[in-house]
Chain A
Amino acid sequence: MLRFRHQMQPRKLKVTPGANPQARINKLREIVTGLIRYERVEPLWYFADEARQYAERLLYLAIKNGDKHKETMELADYWLEEKDLVHKLFKVLVPRYKNYKTCYTDLHKLAVEYPGSGIPMGVLELRGNPWPPIIARQRDTKFILSNMLLTAAKQDFYNTKQQLKSDAATKRQQLIEKSDDMHTIRRTDDSSSVDPPAKTENLMMDR
């Protein structure tokens, strides 16, 4: 089972010369061989995405069936054009990816160059390769002095705001209590008088 997002249908790749399924497979075979050899290749993105599926599948079958399975050996022989890579596949890569629960390759899309063909290039690489990483590891800037000062200032600003809010709330509470007292006093004074009529809106809602 492929462990990454991929197209459900195969792509028609524009391969020259030939433009037939055999030419397509040959091109993909080239990329897969390069990937196993150099662990990082830079073809067109569409080609890389297509070749990735084949490379992953080959690695999966190699891990699953081992080097004593005749059909898998035939596949490895077909897909790896340089025959020393068959040894690399079973002796280096299979032990490396034995316990992986993710996919074995990474694919990155490169920026489109201008002026140029406008076709995006991709970087296809095996995981756990010896090259420097493509995506730089993010530095943890949380404990840099300037950032720490900024966070402290932020916290301070927030605290003062909360203080102001609570002060306003207490003031309002006092006002409410005062007005309530006024109402009760008035009621005790003239209890016979009729209350003012309610708003029509509220009345309609009652009905």
Chain B
Amino acid sequence: MGFKGLFESGQGFTMTDVEGKLVPERGRMDVEGAFTHVSSSQVNVAYKSTHVINYKRTRAEIGQALRKKPNYLHYDLVDKHRSSPLQKGTDNITVETDVKAPRDYRFIMPEFMPRPHFEYRDRVLEKLERRDMLRRRTVINIPEFYVGSIMAVTVSDPFAPNKKNRFLGICIDRGGHGLKAYFVLRNVVDGLGVEIFYQMYSPTLHSIEVIRLEKRLDDRLYYLRNCPLEHSTFSFDMEPIALPRGAQVPVNTLKLKLNPKPWDERWERQDLKGIEPIELTPKMIKGIQKVHNASATPWKKHDLMLHYRSKVNEEEEETIMAEVYKENQLLESMRKTSKATLKKKK
């Protein structure tokens, strides 16, 4: 019942002129009289719903009412709120996209690139993860390293006497996307090969040092498990060797000799460059042929869309790396200033 309806019924209401406007005013009531009214006759009226059901709705109208609503706001509505005076002072700082990361930046920090499979892409999650990673990098210095570099990692360990555990070894694997990035170190302790899997952004990490920055010929060095132990033995007292500024990362072209069989994997079937040629038995040759026949896919070399789908596309990669590069520049400048102030205080 709207304003008009109230006026037309005229029962219990009077209209008074307030500053030239018509305003409904409820009439005075006799309380006792009102109670008698309720108890005597029209009890059911009290439960009368104000909601009006239209039984003459067409099929189309019902469909319109039951339609699937979108889970996003229309741009016009968002823009209206954006331009409202309540939004003053909450403007975002305009992002400068002119900054470009160097081309090799994605090899230095490959974990910032998202997983390329389209079913697992989530742009919001990726952005949040990237922010978290950069925030973690303000606390801990994660240096540039590659598979084949020798590194030392200190982790908090509640059972160690110093509550810290330091491990040094050669990096035999590196991978993962976003916060789940990882690397694996290998060394020999008391004549036994030890491999430790570290999560790069784990809060238990105290420090990551690079003792010797270099690359190997392969991306994964799991074949060290089947090599003589001397190749994966490194002294825990090794001192870091710094490369001269602007120098390229050296590639260690060492070729290792595998132990005789049994092996952990069929190394002869993988195109490994860091091992000496293996003496192939007829069975091995058969196996290699089997694998190569299965993967004999000459069209894959020229399948443009296959390459396109297997990677995050160039434009997206550039924007992501530029964002990361800019943040890192800021971080470095902050570090420099803090160091300078510390020196002054001394």
A interface residue numbers (CB < 8 A to B): 1-2, 8, 10, 21-22, 25, 53-54, 57-58, 61, 64, 74-75, 78-79, 176, 179-180, 183, 194-204
Contacts and interface: CB of A to CB of B under 8 A. Distances in A.
Contact of A202 (B26, B33, B118, B315): B26
Given A21-B299, A198-B11, A202-B12, A176 B28 contact: no
Given A197-B12, A203-B37, 13 more contacts: A21-B299, A25-B299, A25-B303, A53-B305, A57-B304, A57-B308, A64-B314, A176-B7, A180-B15, A201-B48, A202-B26, A203-B34, A204-B46
A190 B99 CA distance: 86
B27 A200 contact: no
A61 B306 CA distance: 14
Interface in B91-130: 118
Contacts of A196: 11-12, 27
Contacts of B264: none
Interface of B: 7, 9, 11-12, 14-15, 17, 22, 26-30, 33-34, 37-38, 42, 45-46, 48, 118, 297-299, 302-306, 308-309, 313-316
Given A8-B118, A58-B304, A194-B30, A200 B298 contact: no
Q: Does more than half of chain A's interface fall in helix, strand or loop, or is it mixed?
A: helix
27 contacts: A1-B313, A1-B316, A2-B308, A2-B313, A8-B309, A10-B309, A21-B303, A53-B304, A53-B305, A54-B305, A57-B308, A75-B302, A79-B302, A176-B7, A183-B14, A194-B30, A195-B12, A195-B27, A195-B28, A196-B27, A197-B30, A197-B37, A199-B9, A201-B45, A201-B48, A202-B12, A204-B46
Contacts of B45: 200-201, 204
Given A22-B298, A57-B305, A198 B22 contact: no
A25 B305 CA distance: 11
Contacts of A203: 29, 34, 37-38
Contacts of A204: 38, 45-46
A190 to B, nearest CB: 14
